[in-house]
Structure 1
């Protein structure tokens, strides 16, 4: 079987990847070269993601799968593609900005930002495009507030992040986009080192020693700081925008689910967003690993050097864990979903992203109770099938 396959239905992962009853991985031929084990069962996926010793996230390891957008060369600061202790050290430098306490502290700002973009869309008049009017600008506001990036440069970040996540761009095009983004971030970090603010990039800049000196044990090189900033910009922008668009689409496609949220937005926004994460699973192709030693997964023998791909979307539709998994149901228990991964590499910004999207759902369904899809729901939808993070290009709505 080939991986990745194109979706037959934009509302579901490829049917061929459906989780087996025994949870055993599937053998697949990678479109980018080589073979791999494809993990589709929920319990097996959790086992792989929670074991950072047997399964490595380092793409420089022999046998690591040829995977979209991953470099075989080490990228300073990109801790998502690292194992402990480097992963632990780099993640720790920014973790304080994504704690539950920080999310609570930003609550009023998140509400104000969501209310502002919803009001702007309403003032522009019905119909409108929810992606362009609400999802993208709100994600940009959130990223700017946390990282400290200038809001006026949002279009620059959008263009660069989408160039870096598209599957059809060449390596040369991706290198140009990465170079432009990294040069921008380096200049911004050096500026914040001279004139710091109350933001994540200022803290990163403060950890970089002056005049090319060696960093302390808890410090970073300038290249590492740029890499961490690069990773957070790319991950934050598209994830929040895609999650909001897809959550609203799901609620507007199903009148019963939408009415439930309208009846009490404060109560139902959180379960709606959590179910959207399970149902859509934004990271399209999942998580790549390589076995560092021989082991067994659901009865299948795995050898050292075998490539592993954890298909998060299929794991989140495993009928052994989620009843009627192809149904969007905000009343179900979905907290065990794997949309943000699991274990040491669980998405650092997941709580912030979810909280911001929840506030947007509250504002949308509270301020615009007549919100509905405009025109033919399927004809007017454009999904980001060519991107690492799933979402919508356009979502026509009226109210």
Structure 2
């Protein structure tokens, strides 16, 4: 350690006091957590596409509950729709910055992005992306998305009559779209598919999840560094050309990481699970093929509400002691919002546990709410409309290849819930 003799005495004493306090009361390091305690896992568990009954039971008892304590941190769970909206919109009472819990071993490249950033940094970084995701700017992608969907359906047909829809459709389409949008080479797809799944899987505790996140970010930060000298045609190159002098590689890499994972893993989950649901809802599947834009939008919005693949929002950390709907929340406590719990709240949804187009007018939280609402929500809707309407038109008689649900590979304890396999028969 370098000498602090150059510091003014009052500042030196303050630094020493802070260091002593940290030594006496070390902050918890969630990356050392080997396994999530069993009693805390039910917000991430499902039976096929449905949350386990315990989630609804807890919401009926109290939409806010003290879930437990991990590494000395109180964990509150919010499951009510109105209560969730209030927490997600409250940037005064809560912080999204979790760097203080990631330990000394996790460097700057293992954290960041919009989801774990507070204003003013969040505002500055989001301002970079927002202009690229307006409806006007996104319309330029219509032709590219249609081409990618058509190519994927051609490849499915050539591989039939039975194919794994997760790999051929659910994974393939959003991955190609996001690679072209960002200007990234597609040859990294296998590596990133595995890392994308691993970073949302908490079955092995915090170390594996944060390790996967660090690896993906390092790759993307290196991509930014490479494009500094030769900007590509995609979003990475555009950000470098227009604003690159104002942002370093780590900041831009964090933004790109958020766009990549938000535009790939969640869309892949929606396409795979959405098809699984539609094959059990033949009228909705037919509506995608023969209905007008309004009917298609109803199907897409109800799928988003019903499936909600992002099960919990980014954790919020209490800035100060406060009351949360009758619960005393201490400074530093963690508040977790169950997005799929809120989306099935009977106080806000007429038929919460059913896929029912009468629910489609509900203000669902599949994309979050407030300051950290998904910046790519409209792009996700575009992909879902194009891919699902294309699938129903090309394969009107699509059917499950097996009725054995154990063959479908539903994930366990994943923040982004999905299927790993979905064998389908393309034609009778």
TM-score range, shorter-chain basis? Answer: 0.7 to 0.9
Distance 1:172 1:389 in 2: 17
Deviations 1:322-347 (A, max 9, x none): 01211011343345101111001001
Distance 1:391 1:307, change over 3 A: same
Say whether 1:82 aligns with 2:117.
Answer: yes
Distance 1:101 1:43, change over 3 A: same
- Aligned partner of residue 352 in structure 1, secondary structure: helix
Greater displacement, 132-141 / 71-80: 71-80
Say whether 1:231 aligns with 2:270.
Answer: no
Q: Which residue in 2 is equivalent to 1:144?
A: 179
Distance 1:312 1:174, change over 3 A: closer
Give the Å deviation of 1:306. 3.0
Q: Which residue in 1 is equivalent to 2:64?
A: 25
TM-score by length of 1: 0.87
Q: Which residue in 1 is equivalent to 2:278?
A: 251
Q: Which residue in 2 is equivalent to 1:16?
A: 54
Q: Which residue in 2 is equivalent to 1:212?
A: none
Deviations 1:187-217 (A, max 9, x none): 32233222223321113333676xxxxx5xx
**1:208–1:225 CA contact under 8 A, matched in 2:** no
Say whether 1:368 aligns with 2:395.
Answer: yes
Distance 1:304 1:32 in 2: 15
Greater displacement, 189-198 / 305-314: 189-198
Q: Which residue in 2 is equivalent to 1:114?
A: 149
Distance 1:176 1:58, change over 3 A: closer
**2:109–2:218 CA contact under 8 A, matched in 1:** no
**1:24–1:299 CA contact under 8 A, matched in 2:** no
Say whether 1:285 aligns with 2:312.
Answer: yes
Deviations 1:332-380 (A, max 9, x none): 3345101111001001111111211110011011111111112215243
Once the two structures are superposed, the pairs formed by residues 1-399 of structure 1 within 5 Å of their partners are: 2-5=39-42, 7=45, 9-18=47-56, 20=59, 24-30=63-69, 34-60=73-99, 77-169=112-204, 177-178=212-213, 180-206=215-241, 219-264=246-291, 266-376=293-403, 378-398=405-425, 399=427
Greater displacement, 134-143 / 299-308: 299-308
* Two-structure CA RMSD over aligned residues (Å): 2.7
Greater displacement, 48-57 / 94-103: 94-103
Distance 1:84 1:362 in 2: 39
Distance 1:200 1:181 in 2: 17
- Aligned partner of residue 163 in structure 1, secondary structure: helix
After TM superposition, which residue ranges in structure 1, 4 or more long, deviate above 6 angstroms?
A: 71-74
Distance 1:248 1:33, change over 3 A: farther
Distance 1:221 1:4 in 2: 37
- Aligned partner of residue 384 in structure 2, secondary structure: helix
- Aligned partner of residue 35 in structure 1, secondary structure: strand
Distance 1:100 1:162 in 2: 29
Greater displacement, 49-58 / 376-385: 376-385
Give the Å deviation of 1:76. 5.6
- Aligned partner of residue 397 in structure 2, secondary structure: coil
Distance 1:383 1:162 in 2: 12
**1:60–1:72 CA contact under 8 A, matched in 2:** no
Distance 1:310 1:180, change over 3 A: closer
Deviations 1:293-318 (A, max 9, x none): 34333343434333211111110000
Paired positions, count: 384
Distance 1:307 1:386 in 2: 19
Distance 1:8 1:197 in 2: 41
Give the Å deviation of 1:33. 6.0
Distance 1:169 1:205 in 2: 37
- Aligned partner of residue 393 in structure 1, secondary structure: coil
TM-score by length of 2: 0.81
Distance 2:300 2:80 in 1: 22
List alignment gaps of at least 5 residues for structure 1: 210-214
